Structure 1
Amino acid sequence: MIIDSHQHFWIYDPKRHDWIGDPIIQKDFTPEDLKKIYKENSVDGCVAVQADQTLGETDFLLDLASKNEFIKGVVGWIDLRTKNIDDTLQQYKDHKKLKGFRHIVQGEPDPNFLLRPEFTRGISKLETYDLCYDILVFPHQLGAVLEFVKQFPNQKFVIDHIAKPYIKDGFYDGWAILIKEIAKQENVFCKLSGMITEADFNTWTPTQITPYMELVLEAFGTSRLMYGSDWPVCLLAGSYSKVKDLVVNFVASLSDEEQQAIMGNNAIRFYNLK
């Protein structure tokens, strides 16, 4: 079974989605659009991930998931820093397709945002509800990530987009050192996603991206990597099939069991998908 562990839906709004600067993705992206693409690419299901930091976004994704069987799980957003975090988590505890939360930490000016007491207090509540946390950061924030994940050895974490290394500029070493350290924490997984948009949109090649994929494969192993498309953001640099083929071709030399793990089974296990 192939599970896309990372994709987005939105009804485009210029104010709410002001981070979307390219006309290619300045439009609506719905389950009907993705269903066709999945049929063409033999993808069985997905995890829908927040793109807007509101409770309305979480409710929007849960509503879509309730109406579309192929949306197996939702990674929503709540303000983990609020004093009434327990009340909010209780509010969502009966939503079976809610699998975790994410904050757009890459957009926070504070490099130590993840380590702030009000945020870590919220994170400390997630394990009780069997909820995962997606870590979205840039490479310069990985030092804080390392300290962060060490604080919560029993919390399930996943690094989105291999931590967005600066592939276009060829930067590698600093990112690689910290990724390897973070991967020593066995509760941390990593998504093979969002890579082509960190390279040059128009000139990237698999050869350019392969060293980064090799590093995370070495660091996390085949049991803690999962395929994700980052659709529709990926469309800035390539079609869905190009994104999928990039990962499929990379893992082709692995055993069938290892390929199946990365292409779907690890996501099923991490997010407890049904």
Structure 2
Amino acid sequence: MSTRIDSHQHFWKFDPVRDSWIDDSMQKIQKDFLPEDLFPLLQQNQFSGCVAVQASQSEEETNFLIDLASKNNFIKGIVGWIDLRNKNITERLEHFSSHKTIKGFRHVVQGEADDFMFREDFRNGISALNQFDYTYDILIFHRQLPAAIDLVKHFPNQHFVIDHIAKPNIKSGDIESWKKGISEISKQENVSCKISGMVTEANWNNWKPSDLKPYLDVIFENFPTNKLMFGSDWPVLNVASNYSEVVKTLEDYMSQLSIEDQNKIWFENVNAFYKL
């Protein structure tokens, strides 16, 4: 089954100023992570490729990923960054549209005010994505779900995917308000969800699969299997786990599903969503 595709991972040449979000509690990832570091992990876990997602907010970041993808054919697609609030957003999208590896864009909304997704300039940027057939990755904390729900309803023809199951607070076991938001957003036809980034929302030092199970249950109860995809969130996952352990946790959880449904989550959905 070496056709698996990792829908969500990052590369960087570590820069302590630019990457200040990687603080001293995350020492394990205060270094470079490049394609040659990921490739053996993909092979060990039966993955044939990945989607590289922006980690810093600049067009240089998008160009850096374009360059890596041009030299490593296992990078099947890129989710870049562009300033969606820019008045000449269409011109910038036009510029990047010549690079076929770019499949969509993302903004680190989790670092913005809770009403950020209501901003007119941001929504103007979202409205421009459709004419270039670009996807949009929603990166938020669970408290921002109400704004995300409004956004996806406002743009019914735009394809959205939620990163990291909208970051519930797994460490505290708090589930109710997140669950309510997931139930609501999953009803929208234009929304998919990445099963990713869970271990870093749990207790880094002593999480166990049973801590993740109630959250996985909510995701599988609400989203149909054709709307779900696996993402490792490598190398961020290294602060709490390792690549193989994250893969195995989902393999074990999904062992109750049909092979057909498992295949959708490991590779078919990510292929279809990003048109890889």
Residues of 2 paired with 1:242 and 1:91: CA distance? 39
Q: CA deviation at 1:94?
A: 1.2
Q: CA deviation at 1:267?
A: 0.3
* Equivalent residue pairs, number: 272
Residues of 2 paired with 1:67 and 1:160: CA distance? 26
1:222 maps to a residue whose letter is: T
The aligned residue for residue 20 of structure 2 is 18
The match for 2:38 among 28, 34, 37 is 34
Answer yes or no: is 1:174 the counterpart of 2:177. yes
Residues of 1 paired with 2:169 and 2:225: CA distance? 24
The aligned residue for residue 229 of structure 1 is 232
Which ranges in structure 1 are unaligned for 5 or more consecutive residues? none
Residues of 2 paired with 1:45 and 1:180: CA distance? 31
Answer yes or no: is 1:71 the counterpart of 2:75. yes
Which ranges in structure 2 are unaligned for 5 or more consecutive residues? none
Answer yes or no: is 1:147 the counterpart of 2:150. yes
Q: Secondary structure at the match of 1:169?
A: coil
- List structure 1 runs of 4+ shifted beyond 4 angstroms: none
The aligned residue for residue 253 of structure 1 is 256
Residues of 2 paired with 1:95 and 1:24: CA distance? 33
Residues of 1 paired with 2:200 and 2:241: CA distance? 9
Residues of 2 paired with 1:154 and 1:251: CA distance? 30
Among all aligned residue pairs of Structure 1 and Structure 2, give the percentage whose two residues are the same amino acid: 54
1:100 maps to a residue whose letter is: G
Residues of 2 paired with 1:234 and 1:127: CA distance? 31
Q: CA RMSD, aligned part only?
A: 0.6
Answer yes or no: is 1:215 the counterpart of 2:184. no
Residues of 1 paired with 2:213 and 2:122: CA distance? 34
Higher mean C-alpha deviation, range 37-46 or range 69-78: 37-46
The aligned residue for residue 273 of structure 2 is 270
Q: CA deviation at 1:221?
A: 1.4
Q: CA deviation at 1:242?
A: 0.6
The match for 1:2 among 4, 7, 13 is 4
The match for 2:63 among 59, 66, 83 is 59
The aligned residue for residue 84 of structure 1 is 88
Residues of 1 paired with 2:193 and 2:250: CA distance? 13
1:80-99 Cα distance to aligned partner (Å, 9 max, x none): 00100011011011111100
Q: CA deviation at 1:248?
A: 1.2
Q: CA deviation at 1:250?
A: 1.2
The aligned residue for residue 246 of structure 2 is 243
Q: CA deviation at 1:36?
A: 1.1
Residues of 2 paired with 1:148 and 1:124: CA distance? 11
1:272 maps to a residue whose letter is: K
The match for 1:113 among 110, 113, 116 is 116
2:184 maps to a residue whose letter is: E
TM-score in terms of structure 2 length: 0.98
Q: CA deviation at 1:214?
A: 1.1
Residues of 1 paired with 2:167 and 2:181: CA distance? 13
